[in-house]
Structures are given as structure tokens and as C-alpha cells.
Amino acid sequence: MIENIKFNSSYNFAFIDETTKKEIRRKLLKAICIPGYQVPYSSPEMPIARGWGTGGLHLTLALIGKTDTLKMIDQGSDASVNACNLRDFVQLTTNCKTTYDTNEATLIQTRHRITEEKLTDKQIMVFQVPQPEPLRRVERYEYKTRQMHAESDYAKMWLTLYEAFVKWGDVMHGAGYPVMVNGRYIMSPSPIPRWDVPNLNMADCIYLFGAGREKRLYAVPPHTRVEPLEFEDVKFHIENFKDVKCESTGYNIAYMDEMYQDDGITKKFYINDSNFLDKMIEKIAVNQHSNKYINQLKKNEQ
Amino acid sequence: MSSSIKNDWVLKVENLTKIYGSYSDETIALTGPQRGTNICPITGSIVACANISFELYPGEVLGIVGESGSGKSTIVKQLFFDMEVTNGNAYLKPYKNGTVNILTESNQKKRYMRNHLMGMVYQNPRDGLNFSFTSGGNIAEKLLMADMFHVGKIRERASSLLSKTEVPVARMDDLPAYFSGGMQQRVQISKAIANNPPLLFLDEITSGLDVSVQAKVLDLIRGLQRELGIAMIVVSHDLSVIRMLTDRTLVLKDGRIVERGLTDQILQDPQHEYTQLLVSSLL
């Protein structure tokens, strides 16, 4: 008897139906062609609510193949609830291989962090984005922000940086520092810390961004200029962990977590990227990102 | 010699027309000062201004005077790209040497002209200033639009502009919402001239101010004009403002120019009926 393969499973490979996947892939190609431009897409229904990582999930599911190795991280950790559940979901619907090892993964979905380990041209990183519109803070109407992007009318964005400097003596944007992509579009890098922002510049891998609730996706293709907004005399800088060290490794040139102890007063610092931390503890060589900010820190260390 | 002066204009406007609603070929003929209306009797469309042509020379101050609804503001709003035109051409010397009709350029180009080559002071400071940013920030916005990305230089320029317009520099980092009307207007003027534009539009700038503050603002404009030699178009319904500021005047009625000439001449010896009425009603 002929076995009916198609209806053996109650859902398609990688959950989303093939036509919708095709649509998302087409939109991704457009996003790659226009670095930093937000492409509207369908944002189909998922078994989780929009805004809980659906944007990232759409891209991951549209891209993943049977031979892919998936890594799923949430704020640097492979083990947090969000990461575990999303990883299990993708694994269940694709039966793909999963890993914690950054180096081994071909597809990495992340929430609010870039790995400390440098990614290669064989890897794709997918970001979950809550608010894709960097200009939303200065302009609440979508039709106006689109016009502003179209005409590169970014004075208001710059003005908020100026005003922040005047009020507080520094540009206070912590996570999601606005960046200029390829000298054309201002882009929200999703709420990654400043530490990660320079790692978007001239990378070997592809960075893809999906915002499910807002129905937008955008991309930074490999070897693309991504520059944080800075004035000629007020420069962008990354977080400083000069006086602290990771409790487990003694290393401090990485983005750190601040852990309050049970007494509620003392705190300890740990490297935030769980896989990077594991590799440091096991003394496995890691090819860490290098950029002018990290290089400066390393130079100061010597 | 006269030809060399003729070619020297900064701004040349030809047949500027703005009509609201659908109109027919006769609309313009059926409206105007002779008909005493700017509403077309056939189509019901409203002719805000029609066939406005004039030239503005470097360093010159041109007045546009007329009653409310005569189309004064419509003219400057169209030239500052706040409003789409129905018809007409305008040429700006500093932009591509005045060879291109600026009214049909792309939005991006128009934005460039607005940010680099023009300044506008509105009647209501709320139209020209962003009240959620500090007064220094408002000036910075104009400088940032004109590609100045050095905080130190921006602040230097902003404080020199504010002291020039007699706004206390100590209040540079305060919101304009906390300022008096006259001070807001002076911040707005600082913003408009921040990038040294060759062309400045002033739209009823003293209308909301009391008399002593009016005098100060007019004084300021005159001083700036003398010092910087900016070409200006001053729109006002107030003949004393026109007399004080302008060299040449256009008188507008029902969207048409009914009289033009040297300001002194128009005020001393008005030719058109409407201008005579206007001058005789001057207190």
C-alpha cells in the first residue's frame, strides 16, 4: 500500500507552510539587497503570541534545512526558559541537530546578544526584535518615519543624542544603540548591549532581524559598514568592566552579568555568554570578536 | 548694465498659483480683485493665489501685504515647500545656479534646500520650534540638518545666535515652552538663521506680540539684515511692519498682485483703490 507521507505529520517541516516560507525568504532577499531597510512581511500565526520571539522564529523556520545545526540563545544564555522552549519547538518540527557550541552552529537565533565568539561566513545569526523602528522614539507615526527614512531625514534622531548629551553629559542609549547601515539607513540593532554593536560592522556572517509583532524584517549582509551614531567630539563607547572580573574565569574582556548574592548587598560578575564562559572554564581556544573598542581594552590590560 | 542687474536675482517666481478644489480653464479669469472674490462661481474652487510673479535680489527685503485670506502666507508656504503648488515655477540662484524649477524637485532635494538654503519664521512659534526640545536643541536641529555633527561647535553657534537675538544664553538648555512669546519668537529667528541661509521667509512674525516686544523683534530683524545681508520676504497685514522692514512691496488682493513698487512710493502715493484703502486705514 502507498504510504501517505504528506499527512503523516500534523504540520509541515519547520511548522510554517512552504508558500509562506517562500514569501519570507523573498522578503529576506530584499532585506539583504537594501541593508538596514525594514521590509514588511506576513508574520504568520505561530503557536506563541506575536512579540514573544515570533519574528526570529519566522526567519529561523523559513531558513532552516534538515542538515542545519541550531543554537538558540536568550540574553547570552543557552539555558534560559525562552531559549529552551524555542529550541525544543524548532527541534520538534524539524528534527534538526541542536548545539550549545557557537562554533558548531550553522544557524543561531538570539535574543538581545551577539555571541562573544566571532562568527564565520558559514553562519547566520537571527535576532528577535521587539521594536524595529529606531525613529519610533522621536516620531510616533509610521507614515512619517517611513518618509523620514526615504529622505534620510535623521536630524530628529541626532537631536535626541544631542539633547541626551546636554542633559546628562553622555548619550544614554544603553541597549539598542542606533546605528547607520552602509551610510544610508539608521537601523535599530535590537536591544543588544553597546558591547555588541561594533561586532555588526564588516562581519563575515549574515545578521538577520525579525520583528514578529511589528511585521518587519531587515538585514545586515556580510562585510557591510555598520556605524554607531556619534558626534565628531562625543564618541560612542562600549560598557566598561575595568574594575571587575568574572568570578569563574578571572577574565574581564567580555560582556558581564551582575549577580547579587543572597545577602542582597554583595555582587559577583560572570561572563554573560554561557557558551563562551564554558569554553573559558574548559580552556578551549575561542576566536573572540575583535574591534577597535575591545582591542583598546586588551591593550590597556597589558 | 541693467541686464547684469536683472540676472542677479536670488529668487525668481513665475506664475505661482494655488487653487483648492477642482477647477476649470475659466476659474482664474472668473476670480480676482475685479470680481471681488476668490471663489470660482462655476466650480466652487478657491483660488488662494494666482499668477504671482516676482524677483528677489540679494540682500533685498520684499514685503507682501494684504488682508487676511488674500494669499500672502500661501505664497511663502509654497516657496518653503510647506504646501504643494498647483502651478508655477520658482528658481533659486544658490541651487544649481537657478536653472532648475525648485517646485518640481524631489522631496529629498526640497529638504536639502530647506535645510541648507532657506529659513522660515512662522507667526506661531509652535510651528517653527519643537517644544519638547530645549531652545539650544532647536537650533541644533537646524544645524544637524545642515550636516554639522560637532557638539562643541553646535553649542558655540547656538549660544552666539541666542546672544545675538538677546535670549539669555543661560537659558539655552531650557524648553521654549517656559519662555515668553517674544523670547520664543527670538529663538525661532535664531533657528531660522542658524545655517546662514541666503533666503529667509518671515510670516506675520510680530502679529502675536505686544507693541514693545514687536519693536524689539523688528529691530532685531533689521539688525540681522544689515549685518548678514540675507534676502528676505516679509509677509504682514501690518503696514508699519512693512514700512519699517522692506525696500519693495507687493500688495495682494484676492490672490493677485494689485500693486507693486518701492515701499515708500506705495505708502506715499498708492495707485490701486485697494492700496489706497489700506493706507488710509493706517492708524
Contact assignment for B144 to A167 by CB distance below 8 Å: no
- Ordered by where they begin, the domains of chain A are 18-135+170-227 (3.40.50.11310)
Q: What tens digit of pLDDT does each residue of B232-274 get?
A: 999 998 888 899 899 999 999 999 999 999 999 999 999 998 8
Please give the grid coordinates belonging to residue A203. 562581519
Query: Cβ of A240: how many Cβ atoms within 10 Å?
Result: 12
B3: confidence class by pLDDT, cuts 50, 70, 90? very low
Residues of A in contact with B144 (CB under 8 A): 155, 158-159, 162
Quote the CA–CA distance of A190 and A176 in Å, as a whole number: 5
How many beta-carbon pairs below 8 A join chains A and B? 48
Q: What tens digit of pLDDT does each residue of B89-114 get?
A: 999 999 999 999 999 999 889 999 99
Residue B6 has pLDDT above 60, yes or no: no
Q: Mind telling me how many Å the CA of B137 is from chain A's nearest CA?
A: 6
Residue A151 has pLDDT above 70, yes or no: yes
Which of B134, B149, B150 lies closest to A166 in CB terms?
A: B134
A172: confidence class by pLDDT, cuts 50, 70, 90? confident
Q: Mind telling me how many Å the CA of B178 is from chain A's nearest CA?
A: 17
- For the segment A252-280, the average pLDDT, to the nearest whole number, is 94
Going by C-beta distance under 8 Å and a sequence separation of 6 or more, which residues neighbour residue A152?
A: A184, B108
Residues of B in contact with A228 (CB under 8 A): none
- Interface probe for B, chosen from A137, A163, A184, A230 (most Cβ of B below 10 Å), is A163
Interface of A with B in 163-222 (CB under 8 A): 163, 165-167
DSSP B86: S
Q: What is the predicted pLDDT for the residue at B205?
A: 86
- For the segment B71-88, the average pLDDT, to the nearest whole number, is 93
Chain B CA closest to residue A158: B144
Instruction: Choose which CATH entry (2.40.50.140, 3.30.365.10, 3.40.50.2300, 3.40.50.300) describes domain B2-280.
Output: 3.40.50.300
Interface of A with B in 134-153 (CB under 8 A): 147, 150-153
Ramachandran region of residue B57, left (φ > 0), alpha (ψ -120 to 50) or beta?
beta
Show the CA angle centred on residue B96, arms to residues B248 and B235, nearest 5°.
25
Helical segments of chain A, H only: 18-33, 54-63, 81-94, 142-150, 155-168, 274-281, 292-301
Quote the CA–CA distance of A6 and A19 in Å, as a whole number: 15
- Is the ipTM, as predicted for this complex, more than 0.95? no
B213: confidence class by pLDDT, cuts 50, 70, 90? confident
Q: What is the predicted pLDDT for the residue at A237?
A: 93
Chain A CA closest to residue B139: A159
For chain A, percent of residues with pLDDT exceeding 90: 85
Which of A151, A162, A167 lies closest to B107 in CB terms?
A: A151
Q: Which of B67, B21, B23, B73 is nearest to B52 (CA)?
A: B73
- Interface probe for A, chosen from B132, B138, B149, B195 (most Cβ of A below 10 Å), is B149
Residue A3 has pLDDT above 80, yes or no: no
Q: Would you give the end-to-end CA distance of chain A in angstroms?
A: 72
Query: Cβ of A171: how many Cβ atoms within 10 Å?
Result: 24
Which of A153, A159, A233 lies closest to B140 in CB terms?
A: A159
Residues of A in contact with B154 (CB under 8 A): 162
Please give the grid coordinates belonging to residue A274. 554561557
Contact assignment for B140 to A234 by CB distance below 8 Å: no
* 3-state SS, one letter per residue, for A173-203: CCCCCCEEECCCEEECCCCCCHHHHHHHCCC
Contact assignment for B141 to A155 by CB distance below 8 Å: yes
Please give the grid coordinates belonging to residue A248. 569563574
B194 close contact with A: CB closer than 8 A: no
User: Are the C-beta atoms of B135 and B167 separated by less than 8 Å?
Assistant: yes
Q: What is the predicted pLDDT for the residue at B69?
A: 86
Contact assignment for A153 to B144 by CB distance below 8 Å: no
Residue with cell 514578529: A212
Q: Mind telling me how many Å the CA of B9 is from chain A's nearest CA?
A: 29
Q: What tens digit of pLDDT does each residue of A67-78 get?
A: 999 999 999 999
CA A98 to centroid of chain Cα atoms: 19
- Interface probe for B, chosen from A160, A231, A234 (most Cβ of B below 10 Å), is A231
Integer Rg of chain B from CA: 19
B1: confidence class by pLDDT, cuts 50, 70, 90? very low
Q: What is the predicted pLDDT for the residue at A300?
A: 86
Q: What is the predicted pLDDT for the residue at B4?
A: 47
Q: What tens digit of pLDDT does each residue of A177-224 get?
A: 999 999 999 999 999 999 999 999 999 999 999 999 999 999 999 999
Contact assignment for A163 to B134 by CB distance below 8 Å: yes
Q: Mind telling me how many Å the CA of B150 is from chain A's nearest CA?
A: 5
Edge-to-edge order in the sheet of strand A216-220: A39-40, A216-220, A206-211, A124-128, A107-111, A69-74, A97-98
Quote the CA–CA distance of A228 and A192 in Å, as a whole number: 12
DSSP A145: H
Residue with cell 536591544: A191
Helical segments of chain B, H only: 2-6, 27-30, 72-79, 107-117, 125-128, 135-145, 151-164, 181-192, 211-228, 239-245, 263-268, 273-280
In the chain, the amino acid numbered B31 is T
Q: What is the predicted pLDDT for the residue at A1?
A: 59
Listed range (B74-78, B143-147, B212-216) with the worst mean pLDDT: B212-216
* DSSP β-ladder status, A124-128 and B11-20: unpaired
* DSSP β-ladder status, B61-66 and B256-262: unpaired
Domain residue extents for chain B: 2-280
Q: What tens digit of pLDDT does each residue of B121-153 get?
A: 998 999 999 998 999 999 999 999 988 999 999
Which phi and psi angles does A94 have, rounded to 5°? -125, -20
Contact assignment for B133 to A159 by CB distance below 8 Å: yes
- For the segment A13-17, the average pLDDT, to the nearest whole number, is 93
> In the beta sheet, which residues pair with residue B16?
B52
Going by C-beta distance under 8 Å and a sequence separation of 6 or more, which residues neighbour residue A259?
A: A267, A268, A269, A270
Q: Report helix angle A142-150 to B107-117, nearest 10.
A: 80
pTM: 0.86
Q: Would you give the end-to-end CA distance of chain B in angstroms?
A: 41
Going by C-beta distance under 8 Å and a sequence separation of 6 or more, which residues neighbour residue B123?
A: B203, B204, B205, B207, B208
> In the beta sheet, which residues pair with residue B256?
B253
Contact assignment for B137 to A233 by CB distance below 8 Å: no
For chain A, percent of residues with pLDDT exceeding 70: 98
Q: What is the predicted pLDDT for the residue at A69?
A: 97
